[in-house]
Amino acid sequence: MFTGLMLNTWVAASVVAVIAGMTGFFAVLRGSTFAAHAIPNGAFAGAAGASLLGINVIWGLAVFAVGGALGIGALGTEGRGRKARHDVVTALTLVVMLGLGALFVSVSSQYAEKTYSLLFGEVFGVSRGEVLPILGLGVAAGLAIGVAFRPLMLTGAVPEVAEARGVSTRRAELYFLIVMALATSMTVPVVGALLMFSLMIGPAAAARSVTARPGTALALSVLIALATVWLSIALSYETNWPLGFFVGTIGAFFYLTGLGARTFGGDRIRSA
């Protein structure tokens, strides 16, 4: 389980988990759950396009993910009464990208297995050459979040106060979406488009329901994401079942455990 190719898998998946835990924390805090779903999902289409053109899928993923982030950010965050429109624009951006993906896949007449692994992940196929770019993008995304930590927190938790202090909510949102897009483009080949999302939301939501302190919640979110990924890899290795299944189920399990802890632990846990 810890030799040769599997070592690449462990390293790549751990980097993915750290990044997903961090971006997921802000996604849950800012209420960008739908965007967190739409960007990785839509980016899948870019991967299909890239393999149609015969270039590295990372580039296709990056172009589509950032394009999606810009689409959601540009059309969706203007004006008041934002939430409903934001969701509508997110949905439309997502389906446009997926529609293109359907076209690419159908035209390229590739085997459906390729589609399947892009959607649901193929963590056991990570090569040494892929580990380095993933590490690089991971460090970049971590730095990007670290640099803007305070404005992201402020605009996410108390947007009115942020606006009053002259921090642009809109710009912070766009910045965050782009960081999420970058993080996505490196994670999709590993955990798959559909499940990158579970890895972002499950651990972060569990962490937030246990503690109200941002620093603690962020750290906890990363830890839970790591635990989810490690457990999933081990189980997937043993059973040969798809990794995505374990990531989704274990993520939901942690969330429900967090909910239970809050319900039964009451204020004691929340204020701890």
Partner 1 sequence: MHYLFEPGLLSSGPVRTALIVGTVVAITSGVIGVFTVLRGQSFAGHSLADVATTGGAGAFLVGINQFWGFLAAGIAAAALMEAIGVQRRRGRDVATGVVLGAALGAAALFLYLGTLHTATTGASFTVLFGSIFVVSPDTVPALAASGVIALLVTAVLSRTLLLTSVSPDLARARGVNVRLVGIAYLGALAVSVSLAAVAIGAVLSTALLIGPSATALRVTKSPARAMAVSALTGLAVTWLGIVLAYDSYYWPPRGHGWPVSFFVVVLVLAAYLLSYARPRRRLAPRSPHEEEGCEPVSALVAPEV
Residues near partner 1 (CB under 8 A) are: 28, 31, 33-34, 36-37, 41, 79-85, 87-88, 90-92, 94-96, 98-100, 102-103, 105-107, 109, 111-113, 115-116, 119-120, 192, 194-195, 197-198, 201-202, 205, 241-242, 244-249, 251-252, 255, 259
Q: Residue 46: which of 22, 71, 64 has the closest Cα?
A: 64
CA dihedral 82, 84, 86, 90 (to 10 degrees): 180
Residue number with CB closer to partner 1 (99 or 146) = 99
Residue closer to partner 1 (CB basis): 146 or 256: 256
For the chain, the maximum distance between any two Cα atoms, rounded to a whole number of angstroms, is 57
* Cβ 105 to partner 1 shortest distance, Å: 7
d(CA 80, CA 190): 38
CA dist 46 and 149 (Å) reads 29
Q: Measured from the CB of residue 190, what is the shortest distance to partner 1 in angstroms?
A: 14
Amino acid at 148: A
The least CB distance from residue 24 to partner 1, in Å, is 10
Closer Cβ to partner 1, 141 or 204, answer by number = 204
* Helix, strand, coil in percent for the chain, rounding step 5: 85, 0, 15
Q: With respect to partner 1, which residue has the nearer C-beta, 139 or 239?
A: 239
CB of 122 to partner 1, least distance (A): 11
